[in-house]
Amino acid sequence: MNEFLKRHRPEAVVLIALVTLIAGATLSSSQEQEDGLLDLSSPIATVNGTEIPYSLFYDMIEARVGFETLQNLVIFQLVKLEADRLGIEVSDEEIDEELSLLIQYQFGSEEVFMNQLNQARMTIGELRSQIWIDLACRAIAMNEVTVTEDEIKAFFDQYKSMLYDKGERVEARQILTATEEEANAIIAELKAGASFEQVAQAKSLDQVTKVRGGYIGIIERGMMVEEFETAAFGAAKGDIVGPVKTDYGYHIIEILDKLDPEPATYEESREAAEYDLKSTKARSTDSVLIELVANAELTVSDSKYQGLVDLINGIKQLQQQSQQSTTE
């Protein structure tokens, strides 16, 4: 993700997912029933001698999340059909990057992020699906925008120092611990010759970086909390500094490289500038979703979900009224 989006885009439009795994479990159990593997009249639990049958359990799940689940499945399918029509693909790497930015800029730490995710009763897989929808809608909106070379150059010139010139940077990796004692013990291990990467994978509390051996990447000023940034930019290449106390715990930081400021050139930054300019002109992802829903043809085979058809028809009418008022 380029610097413009990192610094200036609004928070990702993450449509709160339904409990997809629960819906999947319902479908799975229905298949098991057809195969004779599960009798829905059999008990899932027994309380003081009274049985609670699977049928009641799944009826309550459907009553709680059934409508919302179907609604979100419809939205996902609408976005996927439009993305496929336009030849738009969203890679796992793009989702990974968006997820990392979400954790870094909205939650601040892996621990806070996971706590919020658990409170929302979501899994990483469910959130990734919603990020896919957001990225696909953004790409659909961007696909509609055309810009000229002169416009791109003017945008680059206007925002060169803010977005494209590179300031002082450090490349670093870290190990995060809960206590100062744990951090000091790890520093002793490293001084004795232990591999920073292996220790990070085994002991770091930061789930995002530990799988990469603690690797954070290239850090610019303003990206990290003040205590971390002061220690990292004050160290020399090859230094291991810490423990550095922040609100997230105690950090051990290894400085892999220090990079001097670099002024940007138009040739190097043209692609990023074009993307950034288009992003300022593109309509919102909400607008994309509303249009897709307004143009959808939906039928349902279960009468208790007819309300979803009525909802979409209502959106169609509102969209038509909005278009009429615009042309008058």
Q: Identify whether 278 is part of a domain.
A: no
Give pLDDT, residue 9. 38
Q: Is residue 276 part of a domain?
A: no
Q: What is the DSSP string of 263-290?
A: ---HHHHHHHHHHHHHHHHSPPHHHHHH
Please tell me the predicted confidence (pLDDT) of residue 1: 37
Question: What pLDDT shows up at residue 37?
Answer: 62
Instruction: Please tell me the predicted confidence (pLDDT) of residue 3.
Output: 40
Residue 36: the pLDDT is 52
Q: What is the pLDDT of residue 312?
A: 80
User: What is the pLDDT at residue 120?
Assistant: 84
pLDDT of residue 293: 87
CA distances from residue 209 to 107, 214, 318 in whole angstroms, order as listed: 15, 5, 46
The model scores a pTM over 0.85: no
Residue 88: strand, helix, or coil: coil
Per the omega criterion (within 30 degrees of 0), is the bond before 243 cis?
yes
Residue 32 pLDDT = 46
What is the number of domains present in the chain?
2
pLDDT by 10s per residue, the chain, length 328: 344 334 333 333 333 333 333 334 434 444 444 445 667 788 888 887 888 888 888 778 777 777 878 888 888 999 999 999 999 999 999 999 888 888 877 776 777 788 888 888 888 888 898 899 999 999 999 999 999 999 999 999 999 998 999 989 999 999 999 999 999 999 999 999 999 999 999 999 987 788 889 999 898 888 888 999 999 999 999 999 989 999 999 999 999 999 999 999 999 999 999 999 999 999 999 899 889 988 888 888 878 788 888 888 788 777 777 766 666 6
Q: Is residue 86 part of a domain?
A: yes
- Please state, in angstroms and rounded to a whole number, the distance separating the CA atoms of residues 165 and 272: 12
- The Cβ of residue 280 has, within 10 Å, a number of other Cβ atoms equal to 12
The reply to whether 268 falls in a domain is no
**According to the model, what pLDDT value does residue 48 have?**
72
CATH of the domain at 250: 3.10.50.40
Distances (CA, A) of 300 to 12, 81, 239, 273: 31, 18, 63, 45
126 shares a domain with 54: yes
Same domain assignment for residues 78 and 111:
yes
Is-contact 242 184, C-beta < 8 A?
no
Are 322 and 226 members of one domain?
no
Tell whether 10 and 140 lie within a shared domain: yes
Residue 246 amino acid letter: T
| Domain assignment of residue 159, yes or no | no
**140 lies in the same domain as 172:** no
Number of Cβ within 10 Å of residue 174's Cβ equals: 23
Using alpha carbons, list the distances in angstroms from residue 147 to 150, 257, 278, 280, 321: 8, 37, 7, 11, 30
SS3 127: helix
Cβ atoms of 106 and 14 within 8 Å: the answer is no
Residue 309 lies in a domain: yes
Partner residues linked to 257 by β-bridges: 171
| Residues 313 and 222 reside in one and the same domain | no
Cβ atoms 170, 236 nearer than 8 A? no
Cα–Cα distance for residue pair 283/141, rounded to 1 Å: 6
Tokens 């043209």 identify what position? 270
Same domain membership, residue 198 and residue 65: no
- Assess whether 108 and 204 both reside in one domain: no
Let me know whether 138 and 172 are in one domain: no
Range of the domain at 311: 3-144+286-327
Q: Tokens 């208790």 correspond to what residue?
A: 304
Are 123 and 253 in the same domain? Answer: no
**Residue 154 confidence (pLDDT):** 97
Nearest to 221 by CA among 149, 165, 296, 290: 165
What residue type is 131 in one-letter code? Answer: I
Residue 160 in any domain: the answer is no
Q: Is residue 68 part of a domain?
A: yes
pLDDT score recorded for residue 5: 36
Q: Are 182 and 260 in contact (CB under 8 A)?
A: no
